[in-house]
Chains A and B, each alone.
Chain A
Amino acid sequence: MRVAPLALVPILLAAGMARAQDYLSCQLAPGWTQSEPIHQYTADNLYDYKDGGAEGYLIYGFAGMKSLNCKSGENTLTIDVSEMNDADAAYGIFATNRDPRLPIAKIGMGGQVQPQSASFAKGKYYVEIVVAATDPNIVHTAELQALVNRMAQRMEGRETPPEALAWFPQENLTSAGLVPESVLGLKQLKRGYVAKYTQGQAFIVLEDSAESAAAVLKELRARFDGASDAKVGDEAFQAKAQYLDGICIFRKGRTLGGYANLPTAQEAASQAVKLAARIP
């Protein structure tokens, strides 16, 4: 009985490696040659490579990483491909690490290319590329753009951001992404999407059922002194809190959503109505 799964491993390994070789190769970057074997990391030894920054990967649901170094003269091109537990997690870590001052380009689910670096997410993969050049003033944007395009073409997986991100009202939106735990700094909101606006922030958390969502809402309401009912979704409350300012949290089916950090609870409730209307 134990032989069967082990016997499958070489087949699965070969399939997995073939895919990795397709998209993780210095040959995809003309002029660059592989300088050392591909390094592999797991949650166990990611600290060896990323030091304390490893926790930033682990919290998003990190499965493994392959890292490739390519050389061109004295310059080094490092390509890190992280495999996350799912596509939402891959997009989540991309969105957290991206430069919010720059737009998101259509590379896989989303990407950014800068003069010395690039990143994108496609399927359950999160890709980071950095050029360490002897002359840091040389702009590598064009070749990085070509490289990420080639990599993305060879990678499997989803090409659209998480559906819930489209539910956030777009007016005055500055950034949006996945928070892996404790949305708004509240333990009860375990994992969800957060949108930052020029003023305030909104969130969406998908619970397993309407019942569990209702239980979380009840628990949250108990934390806010002076909370009062609000007419949003199936049930809601609004409050004024020190750190979250004007806040409104509602439940619509199994979805929890809301606004925080607005000047008044009423304004938060008003915005929450707009958000609730966009949730299917």
Chain B
Amino acid sequence: MAQTPTAATFDATLDAHGHAAAHDDHDHKPRGFWDRWVANTNHKDIGTLYLIFSGVMFFVGGGMAMLIRAELYKPGLQFFDPAFFNSLTTVHALAMIFGAVMPAWVGLANWMIPLQVGAPDMALPRMNNFSFWILPFAFTLLLSTFFVKGGAPAGGWTLYPPLVLQSGDGFPMAIFAIHMMGASSIMGAINVIVTIMNMRAPGMTLLKMPLFVWTWLITAYLLIAVMPVLAGAVTMLLTDHFFGTSFFSASGGGDPVMFQHIFWFFGHPEVYILILPAFGIVSEIIPTFSRKPLFGYEAMVYATASIAFLSFIVWAHHMFTVGMPLAGELFFMLSTMLISIPTGVKVFNWCTTMWRGSLSFEPPMLFALAFLFLFTIGGFSGLMLAIAPADFQYQDTYFVVAHFHYVLVPGAIFTIMAGVYYWLPKWVGRMYNMTLAKWHFWLSAIFVNVLFFPQHFLGLAGMPRRIPDYGTQFADWNMVSSLGGFGFGAAQLLFPYIIWKCVKSGPPAPAKVWEGAHGLEWELPSPAPYHSWQEAPDAAVLAHGAEH
């Protein structure tokens, strides 16, 4: 008996059954562990799987970071052979980028995109399941390289030849793992695009979509464009090593620098893939807690699209010292400087959203504000890095390490946490302990700066990156940075605890968890029903929910 719910019957259905969708829904979740958690095709459960995986990898990568900071605490080599230290830095980066940040974004996309566009699920549910399950296999393979002859790859996550071709038995395992991660990302991106383009509720035009959906749409196009490029690059490494090609060896007529061009053609859009969904989430949290609509919605969409387009023409700013012709250096310097313009536009729009608002500071807002301050600092160091002749002093030093950790940790990671603190009550139907979450925030925000700000000074003082030991003039700031690292790492233990306590025994959460929240997801009860939006929301619900 499918009657299209009007606003009135919709509310009645909600009241009568306590959940949304067609009135004959029984909100049954699959019984049995295998059916619910292994063979499932439900976007909510797959989203949960991605987020749990991401959390585990965050602690794996984070553990490696703690080991790195322990070795760098004092000058002299205290704990690790330098080759093992190089493996730690390499796998730390691979785990964080491909294991923690990217799966977190896919997990949040899975949970929220169908809810936010009024769709019953993702467009391709079985491919969705496959995309997820590739990842635990890929990372088991990658992490097991620590136990083979030659150890884990130690040439940096950037895998430059000829060095990476000196790797041991772990090399083909790592390449295969990277191929698998790439395939997972490409399939996830296809799913996102098809869902957004085909399954929006009637009346939700593109320019009415929440900004998280917009930024994910654009991110998905970036993924499809560049993950195959990475696949090509690492396959060429494989054939150079095993099948007698010489793409990257001068003695065979090839060029090691060509790898760098191909890698960074992937690599630069990749870093925007890592941050664009964060821009979307912040664009929803700040308006909610300012009780005021996002300022300049269309400008934000165009700025995001501009950033995505520009991200394809700046790649060689990672290669300023490689010996490029002057014209090349000049082009990439100017294009890189240009990308600060749309990024600045976004920062100004967020600030103006808060201006003349009515602000409150719950945990999602705290993390979003920390993003705004600290990502902007990362942006400033990025602008300095864009200046090619100055970059001769910064390249491959701790100044670069400071820059990218500012944009990735208070940038991407804090926003993932903000998104979880924002939407967790919707997912679980329970509130978490806000006091404890605020402790998590303040400890993280303070220690992240103690950890990474001194690294700017270390780079300027002359400390290169990827070294396990250093001259004594670098000792003081390294000690401070390591202490910050230990504090930051310890503070993160609060996060899974807060989530677990919430799931187990948090007090019930209402449908509209946050007073100023707008969006279709807040029209559904908390927890969101297992099958939601089986009928598309009608115009009235849409108007109410899609106001941004």
The answer to whether A binds B is no
Contact surface of A with B, Cβ cutoff 8 Å: none
